């Protein structure tokens, strides 16, 4: 049962990833170059701001909290595939529930 669920979740993850890549490609094809450039600049600014905020938070956080966060990050990296599969499965369930709710 668990194996089937993991396989279905992995399949759903792959389908979601493929669909997202296709949508992103179509958006890139239909978006003017100046808009893409501004978007890239804005994204770079957001990443830079997030990095600064993260560094500030890390500097101010007490040591036990930093250790716990490091352990959680390590666990997430170690179990990346099951976490992504679970996330995709949850997203699929929510989308199905939402689409069924609109039909009523």
Domain boundaries, the chain: 2-103
Task: Give the pLDDT band of residue 101 (cuts 50, 70, 90).
Answer: confident
The position carrying tokens 């450039």 is 37
| pLDDT for res 52 | 92
Using the Cα atoms of residue 99, residue 80, residue 51 and residue 65 in order, give the sign of their dihedral.
positive
Average pLDDT over residues 73-87: 88
**Residue 49 pLDDT exceeds 90:** yes
Average pLDDT over residues 7-25: 83
DSSP designation for 61: S
Average pLDDT over residues 68-93: 88
User: Is the Cβ–Cβ distance between 85 and 14 less than 8 Å?
Assistant: no
Largest CA distance in the chain: 52
pTM summary value: 0.40
**Residue 76 pLDDT exceeds 80:** yes
Rounded CA separation 51/58 (Å): 10
User: Is the Cβ–Cβ distance between 82 and 12 less than 8 Å?
Assistant: no
Rounded CA separation 96/47 (Å): 32
- Measured from the Cβ of residue 9, the count of other Cβ atoms closer than 10 Å reads 20
């Amino acid at each position: 049962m668990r194996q089937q669920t993991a396989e279905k979740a992995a399949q759903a993850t792959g389908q979601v990833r493929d669909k997202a890549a296709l949508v992103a490609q179509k958006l890139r094809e239909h978006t003017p170059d100046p808009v893409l450039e501004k978007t890239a600049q804005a994204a770079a600014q957001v990443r830079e701001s997030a990095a600064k905020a993260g560094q500030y938070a890390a500097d101010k956080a007490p040591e036990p909290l930093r250790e716990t966060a490091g352990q959680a990050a390590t666990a997430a990296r170690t179990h990346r595939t099951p976490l992504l599969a679970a996330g995709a499965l949850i997203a699929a369930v929510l989308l199905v529930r939402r689409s069924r709710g609109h039909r009523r």
